[in-house]
Amino acid sequence: MVELVVLVLLCIVLLGPVLFVWGLVDMRKGSGTRGGILTILGATTMGLVFWAYNAISHMNFSKGRVLRLKGRARVARRTLGDGWADDAAPRLEGLTPWQRTVLGEAWMYSAGMEHASIPAFAKLSLKLSALGAPSELLEACHLAALDEVRHARRCFALARAYSGLPWSAGAIPELGQGHPPRPSSGDGDEWSRLVRGSLLDGCLGEGLAASVAAEASRRASDPVVRETLAVIAEDEERHAELGWDVLAFALERGGGKARQALHLALDALDTQRTPTLPNIPGVDEGFLARNGVLPQAELGRLMEDCLQQTRARASAWVEPAARTQRPRVMMPPCSSSPNISSSASTGKT
């Protein structure tokens, strides 16, 4: 079955270039009309394959903390190999090759984002260390990175199972490129960046990831997918709370610049948009929801809820009455999360 899926995909991918070259050869031989038609058909097929690939690899799934390098979100190159998958085995019966391709790409997208969250937390740890953060924050940051390792392994495993291809994580070359230090007007800029990153990527981003994964888990029919998303939801909720704790630390120690940065970050909440899901031929919203991908309307609703809650909670910290109060710094329990590898890997619950 796996070989058949790979063969069908290979034929679809190669069809465009073959028709295109065939058409060019025909035109050179003098068959202008047939060659022209074949060339156009080939170019159209290549365009459709590229569009389909682009569409399904940008589906919104659960995400962790975004890895930002020079202001751009980065993920690892995809590669084939071992080392980044657990033994998860979702049900494949009844799925067509196209449906498996769509689900494989959707989980590859999640896998890339989860994998990128690992160095994102490593970067946060370095920043917190540089600013003299307490041990509890550093500990929570490293535990969160370990959560992301489990999330990435699981997502790669599901992507491999659906696609039939041994996908794995490749390099993130941008991480190894030394970049010049940012122009800084002093220590205050570091606090400002920490405040903005914590509110947008931590409190909002991971809070939304938790809500999306929780709702997707409720709608998923496959037991492995359902439990995977439930565990991710619980972990991401804890990561969002870590974002709030980092924000509290920054406000407590960063002075007026940190508080000013929170005002600006609150304004930036208004510019956050719900990612748009593409329409993919051959798969409807019901199918996607049963397999862990929420419909656009549901994503929009969850985004609005998260924006509202984030705005309300953060605004309370910049109100005049709150200025005399110390923001809450309380670490959630980190050892209570279920282990994704042991509880949901085979679906035998």
Give the residues lining the site for Fe ion (CB under 5 A): 64, 114, 148, 151, 206, 236, 239
Long-range Cβ pairs for the range 135-142 (8 Å, 24+): 136/245, 136/329, 136/331, 137/242, 137/245, 137/246, 137/249, 137/331, 139/331, 139/334, 140/242, 140/245, 140/331, 140/332, 140/334, 141/242
Closest to Fe ion by CB, 208 or 262: 208
User: Closest approach of Cβ 144 to Fe ion, in Å?
Assistant: 6
Q: How far apart are CA 83 and CA 166, in angstroms?
A: 10
- With CB atoms as reference, the residue minimizing the distance to Fe ion is 64
Please choose, from the candidates 235, 240, 260, 253, the residue with its C-alpha nearest in 3D space to the C-alpha of residue 198.
Answer: 240
CB of 72 to Fe ion, least distance (A): 19
Least Cβ distance, residue 55 to Fe ion (angstroms): 23
Q: Which is nearer to Fe ion, 206 or 222 (CB)?
A: 206
- Provide, rounded to whole angstroms, the least separation between the CB of residue 230 and Fe ion: 13
Nearest CB to Fe ion, comparing residues 190 and 241: 241
Q: What are phi and psi of 208, to 5 degrees?
A: -65, -40
Torsion of CA 142, 274, 318, 257, to 10 degrees: 60
Phi/psi of residue 236, each to 5°?
A: -65, -30
In contact, 170 and 156? CB cutoff 8 Å:
no
Residue 331 φ then ψ, to 5°:
-85, 135
Measured from the CB atom, the residue of 5 and 209 that comes closer to Fe ion is 209
Cα gap 268→9, rounded to integer Å: 42
| Least Å from the CB of residue 238 to Fe ion | 8
The nearest distance, CB 232 to Fe ion, in angstroms, is 6
Handedness of CA 135, 137, 141, 146 (dihedral sign): positive
Q: Closer CB to Fe ion, residue 153 or residue 259? A: 153
Nearest CB to Fe ion, comparing residues 20 and 244: 244
Residue whose C-alpha is closest to residue 101's, from 7, 237, 236, 195:
7
14 CB-near residues (< 8 Å, 6+ apart): none
Least separation in angstroms between residue 280's CB and Fe ion is 24
Shortest gap between Cβ of 53 and Fe ion (angstroms)? 24
Indicate the SS3 state at residue 265.
Answer: helix
Cβ closer to Fe ion: 114 or 245? 114
Report in angstroms how near the CB of residue 13 gets to Fe ion at its nearest: 30
Residue type, 156: F
Closer residue to Fe ion, CB minimum distance, 105 or 235: 235
Q: Give 66 or 258: the residue with its C-beta nearer to Fe ion.
A: 66
Instruction: Give the list of residues 6+ apart from residue 18 with CB closer than 8 angstroms, or none.
Output: 42
